[in-house]
Structure 1
């Protein structure tokens, strides 16, 4: 509904989709998806749209959860309950389908009956783990994006944020990447929206970095390629030792900038 209202306000002002997107540092496709109710921009972009079109914003929808940290580059040790930690460890070691509630109970040192006092089902435990990971990923990417003073810094920050998360939180990132198709119902939609939101942040940064220059490879394809190379880090490094996070981030930033300018 909000997207449709803003589209009507944009049209009434004689603003083109591409023109407004460029003013706000968004990609035209991201703005179009919002106007058609397929996605929702981050809070910073939403406030900018509201101010530009003079359309009030309704209360934000429920988010994945609340998360606080000093800075998006700062990581501490996660305090996780024993059941979630056991589930995370087994999902990484054996995969979701290769893990059982009995295995999780044994890893925690409690009975099988006792495990159901903590979580209703294995699927609910997977949702708990993935929601915790996706909440942190989205929050850190939003903070990194908001800190960028221009499209170049936004892209660099986003790439660095993604690399840091996928190295430092490697087990969590591994489960989010490899078990996404296992989720069912509302949880699947929730995780998909989180992924789409991160992708749109990258797409907006890429579009802003390129400006109006025409490229053989579209902005959307380039943005997805950059996101994909960061989310695949756990697959490449899970069994090969953990790389130095900031060094890898610098290398991936250089790769991303080369892709944008290609």
Structure 2
């Protein structure tokens, strides 16, 4: 919730609304000034829509606030080795939200369910986060930030193009097994994200694909012949690795590292296909 007289929250709409209040400007007055309807401006301030570039610039000019429609990328949790996964350190509200979202789905989940799961009142949940969407956004962005950081470390450790592919496939597989709940949430609830969180999540997903595509292209440059374009090959590799989260069951069948070894062999075969 916005605090009167103070810019609070990282969302652009939240910051614009706080700036409007500081300028003692009514919603209808500002909407008329920049050529928007009051209802459209209200949706923007509440994070339900995003105006075009010209309207954003007009808003920034009218309110005297910086124009920065792109949210900052989330920080990645620290780790010593990209292969080692400790229990994910989440605040109780976010741990409860992750569990509830995975169990019943984002749209069926309620803030009351999350509050009951972590032993807080609904007011207690809202003390930590402003909305259910904010919970989902932070969970997904945190997961992607960790995956990218681990992929970067795995890529840097390799001493050959083929080893780069092997390390990256192992990294993605380990993430989608040891961080299965986060991975499932990222696969199933992208459609539930509001903008601009959805856009940022897609950009983070592309980063993973781009890292793997760079390794595939390096293999091709080294002399491996493949008739399928590197972009399509890397997309296929990412897709098959991500799907592991849908069927993996801890303690049943192969271990994550055994799955990773098999999938690395498959990926190398795809590079040369």
Residue 216 of structure 1: aligned partner? 227
Q: Secondary structure at the match of 2:128?
A: coil
Q: CA deviation at 1:260?
A: 1.1
Which residues in structure 2 correspond to 1:1-262 (within 5 Å)?
62-211=72-221, 215-237=226-248, 241=252, 243-262=254-273
Could you report, residue by residue, the CA deviation over 1:222-242 in whole angstroms, capped at 9, with x for unpaired residues?
Answer: 110000011111112269957
Q: CA deviation at 1:120?
A: 0.8
Measured in 2, the distance between the counterparts of 1:259 and 1:184 equals 35
Q: Secondary structure at the match of 1:257?
A: helix
Moved more, 86-95 or 65-74: 65-74
Q: Secondary structure at the match of 1:117?
A: helix
Measured in 2, the distance between the counterparts of 1:190 and 1:148 equals 28
Give the aligned length.
202
Identify if the C-alpha distance between structure 1 residues 256 and 128 changes in structure 2 by more than 3 Å, giving closer, same or farther.
same
Measured in 1, the distance between the counterparts of 2:158 and 2:250 equals 34
Measured in 1, the distance between the counterparts of 2:242 and 2:129 equals 28
Moved more, 78-87 or 65-74: 65-74
Measured in 1, the distance between the counterparts of 2:111 and 2:72 equals 30
Residue 53 of structure 1: aligned partner? none
Identify if the C-alpha distance between structure 1 residues 179 and 110 changes in structure 2 by more than 3 Å, giving closer, same or farther.
same
Q: CA deviation at 1:214?
A: 5.5
Could you report, residue by residue, the CA deviation over 1:120-160 in whole angstroms, capped at 9, with x for unpaired residues?
Answer: 11000001211221111010001111111121111110000
Gaps of 5+ in 2: 1-70
Identify if the C-alpha distance between structure 1 residues 67 and 79 changes in structure 2 by more than 3 Å, giving closer, same or farther.
closer
Measured in 2, the distance between the counterparts of 1:116 and 1:242 equals 41
Measured in 2, the distance between the counterparts of 1:98 and 1:151 equals 45
Q: CA deviation at 1:64?
A: 2.3
Residue 46 of structure 1: aligned partner? none
Could you report, residue by residue, the CA deviation over 1:161-202 in whole angstroms, capped at 9, with x for unpaired residues?
Answer: 000000011001111111112112221122111111110111
Could you report, residue by residue, the CA deviation over 1:90-142 in whole angstroms, capped at 9, with x for unpaired residues?
Answer: 11111111111111111112222222111111000001211221111010001
Measured in 1, the distance between the counterparts of 2:80 and 2:136 equals 27
Question: Over aligned residues, Cα RMSD in angstroms?
Answer: 2.0
Structure with bigger gyration radius: 2
Identify if the C-alpha distance between structure 1 residues 99 and 237 changes in structure 2 by more than 3 Å, giving closer, same or farther.
same
Measured in 2, the distance between the counterparts of 1:260 and 1:91 equals 36
Identify if the C-alpha distance between structure 1 residues 239 and 151 changes in structure 2 by more than 3 Å, giving closer, same or farther.
closer
Gaps of 5+ in 1: 1-60
Measured in 1, the distance between the counterparts of 2:133 and 2:99 equals 15
- Conserved 8 A contact 2:224-2:272: no
Q: CA deviation at 1:213?
A: 5.8
